[in-house]
């Protein structure tokens, strides 16, 4: 028996956000619906109307339940945002700043500290933090400076 090649082009259901909202259809289980003006997608379950379906993904974000990773660019302050349980947890700002719980980039000289196994990280003053400058070993320098004594223990 000779194989037959059948060329198929798939096109997903698509419309503007306003038209989807107005028609409010129920997508078949696994059927994709695309908002052509927002770049967002929904995946049908066969029983939930469009307006009650959560967005599954878009051209600039990935969502699952109440959690999302998203790239936002308003033209002047592009950023990457991670949200869990509908609350912003982490933000990478336009100049590489690290924001905790939103645009909280800490103050100059602060460091991130752990809240433990079940706690959140937070910004804290760097007082008491050991800063070691190991020098530039590429040019033969071996200067090591610190503002705190370091007890390295036994090297035997």
- Chain segment 2-19, per-residue pLDDT in tens: 899 999 998 999 999 999
- Output the pLDDT for position 128: 67
Q: Tell me which of 81 and 61 has the higher pLDDT.
A: 81
Which tokens belong to 64? 């699952």
Q: How far is CA 36 from CA 40, 42, 53, 76, 114, in A?
A: 8, 12, 17, 24, 42
Give this prediction's pTM: 0.49
Rounded (5°) CA angle 90-92-97: 115
Domain segments of the chain: what residues? 11-59, 64-107
Q: Which residues pair with 99 in a beta bridge?
A: 91
- Output the pLDDT for position 134: 56
Which of 69-83, 103-117, 128-142 bottoms out in mean pLDDT, i.e. has the lowest? Answer: 128-142
Q: Tell me which of 18 and 88 has the higher pLDDT.
A: 18
CATH number for the domain running over 11-59: 2.10.10
- Chain segment 28-80, per-residue pLDDT in tens: 999 999 999 988 889 999 999 999 998 887 677 787 888 888 888 877 778 88
């Amino acid at each position: 028996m000779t194989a037959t090649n059948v060329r198929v082009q798939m096109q997903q259901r698509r419309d503007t956000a306003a038209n989807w909202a107005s028609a409010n259809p129920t997508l078949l289980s696994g059927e994709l619906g695309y908002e052509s003006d927002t770049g967002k997608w929904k995946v049908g379950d066969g029983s939930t109307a469009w307006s009650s379906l959560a967005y599954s993904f878009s051209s600039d974000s990935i969502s699952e339940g109440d959690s999302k990773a998203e790239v936002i660019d308003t033209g002047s302050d592009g950023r990457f945002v991670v949200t869990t349980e509908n609350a912003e947890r982490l933000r990478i700002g336009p100049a590489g700043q690290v924001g905790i719980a939103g645009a909280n980039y800490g103050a100059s000289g602060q460091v991130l500290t752990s809240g433990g196994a079940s706690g959140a990280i937070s910004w804290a003053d760097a007082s008491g933090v050991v800063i070691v400058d190991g020098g530039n070993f590429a040019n033969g320098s071996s200067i090591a400076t610190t503002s705190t004594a370091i007890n390295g223990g036994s090297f035997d």
